[in-house]
């Protein structure tokens, strides 16, 4: 089977960009570059102002919390405690256990959270699908449901005795269907499944991306006799790589901060058997339930550092696989 290879580097604008970049150093700090920089800073100015006004102080304040002993009841007066909170965090096995839980779930859930919306978007973009508008809306539907209602709906669906899932399983002959939400081996699939309910956002992002792929690339692929798989691999995925990259980064941030579903389902107890004691759940409980603000902030900054490290690694690899026609 003949196939064409549209590698990012072969696309006209990428070639041009490369050529352009080669010529770049000679431009130096020309007036043109200064002008461009001025415009760039003008355009990002709203974010910078907002960052200074609303984001910087909370971040810095949480850093200060980290080296003090602020709690709601404040049985001891507020004082500088240095690295006490960090030492406590590093010495507490809950920190490491919950990080392990988080990473285990991330390894399981991240591929699902990225691939499934992409596949659904492909299907919704397929010319073989009838009534596309209807299906698009139906896939979007659960995304609109308020979060807690959605989780509670699934809790009802997955109830071992009265849930529809097990009712269906009994109907097809399964005698003792599982206790989905209380079985340690089934809990991650169940949580991943509940997570797929918010698939609407990911599908939209992917649909918007697919819509931006120039159709002449598909036409060219077809003329070359490329099959479905070759077209997907050599046209769609490279052209979608900026969107996939976006999904990946946000997927990582989301999964590292994952805690709301188990908070609603198990009241934050980490049931079954500690398998849902996620890092951010521990953090949330420290900051909100136990009112240990300083310790919560300390955990928060550990999560910040971990997230930053992981995303920077992904950013580094992105040069190899993310194609951007308009970048230079």
User: Closer CB to other proteins, residue 64 or residue 90?
Assistant: 64
Piece of 98-106, 107-115, 184-192, 240-248 that binds other proteins (CB under 8 A) = 240-248
Judged by CB under 8 A, the chain residues 241 through 300 that form the site for other proteins are 242-243, 245-246, 249-250, 253, 257, 266-272, 280, 283-285, 287-291, 293, 296-297, 299-300
Among 82, 111, 212, 225, which residue sits at the site for other proteins (rule: CB under 8 A)? 212
Nearer to other proteins, 239 or 261 (CB): 239
Of the residues 39, 82, 83, 107, which one makes contact with other proteins according to CB under 8 A:
39
Please choose, out of 102-110, 184-192, 199-207, 229-237, the segment that lies near other proteins by the rule CB under 8 A: 199-207
Secondary structure in 3-state letters for 75-130 = CCCCCECCCHHHHHHHHCHHHHHHHHHHHHHHHHHHHHHHHHHHHHHHHHCCCCCC
Q: Which is nearer to other proteins, 230 or 249 (CB)?
A: 249
What is the size of the binding site for other proteins (CB under 8 A)?
148
Q: Is 115 in the site for other proteins (CB under 8 A)?
A: no
Note whether 315 binds other proteins by CB under 8 A.
Answer: yes
Residues 159-188 contacting other proteins, CB under 8 A? 159-164, 179, 182
Angle subtended at Cα 82 by Cα 76 and Cα 85, rounded to the nearest 5 degrees: 70
Q: Is 301 in the site for other proteins (CB under 8 A)?
A: yes
C-alpha to C-alpha distance for 143 and 150, rounded to whole angstroms: 9
Among 7, 222, 225, 229, binds other proteins (CB under 8 A): 222
By CB under 8 A, tell whether 53 contacts other proteins.
yes
Give the nearest distance from C-beta 154 to other proteins in angstroms. Answer: 6
Q: Which residue has the tokens 């500690």?
A: 274
Smallest gap from Cβ 287 to other proteins, in A, equals 4
Residue 158 contacts residue 181 (beta carbons within 8 Å): yes
């Amino acid at each position: 089977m003949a196939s064409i290879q549209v590698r990012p580097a072969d696309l006209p604008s990428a070639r041009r960009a490369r050529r352009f970049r080669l010529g770049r150093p000679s431009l130096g700090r020309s007036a043109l570059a200064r002008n461009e920089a001025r415009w760039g800073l003008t355009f990002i100015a709203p974010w910078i102002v907002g960052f200074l006004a609303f984001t910087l102080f909370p971040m810095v304040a949480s850093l200060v919390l980290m080296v003090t002993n602020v709690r709601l009841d404040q049985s001891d007066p507020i004082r500088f405690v240095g690295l006490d909170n960090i030492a406590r965090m590093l010495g507490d096995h809950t920190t490491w256990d919950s990080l392990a839980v988080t990473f285990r779930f991330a390894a399981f859930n991240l591929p699902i959270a990225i691939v499934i919306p992409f596949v659904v978007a492909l299907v919704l973009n397929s010319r073989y699908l009838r009534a596309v508008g209807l299906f698009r809306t139906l896939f979007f539907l659960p995304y609109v449901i308020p979060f807690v209602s959605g989780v509670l709906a699934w809790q009802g669906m997955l109830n071992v005795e009265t849930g529809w899932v097990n009712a269906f399983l009994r109907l097809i002959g399964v005698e003792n269907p599982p206790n989905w939400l209380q079985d340690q081996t089934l809990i991650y699939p169940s949580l991943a499944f509940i997570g797929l309910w918010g698939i609407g956002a990911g599908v939209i992002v992917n649909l918007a991306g697919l819509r931006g792929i120039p159709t002449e690339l598909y036409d060219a692929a077809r003329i070359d006799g490329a099959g479905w798989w070759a077209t997907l691999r050599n046209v769609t995925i490279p052209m979608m790589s900026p969107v996939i990259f976006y999904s990946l980064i946000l997927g990582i941030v989301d999964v590292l901060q994952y805690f709301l579903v188990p908070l609603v389902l198990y009241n934050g107890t980490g049931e079954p058997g500690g398998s849902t004691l996620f890092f951010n759940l521990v953090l949330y409980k420290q900051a909100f339930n136990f009112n240990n603000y300083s310790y919560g902030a300390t955990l928060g900054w550990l999560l910040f550092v971990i997230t930053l490290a992981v995303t920077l690694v992904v950013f580094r690899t992105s040069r190899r696989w993310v194609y951007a026609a308009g970048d230079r």
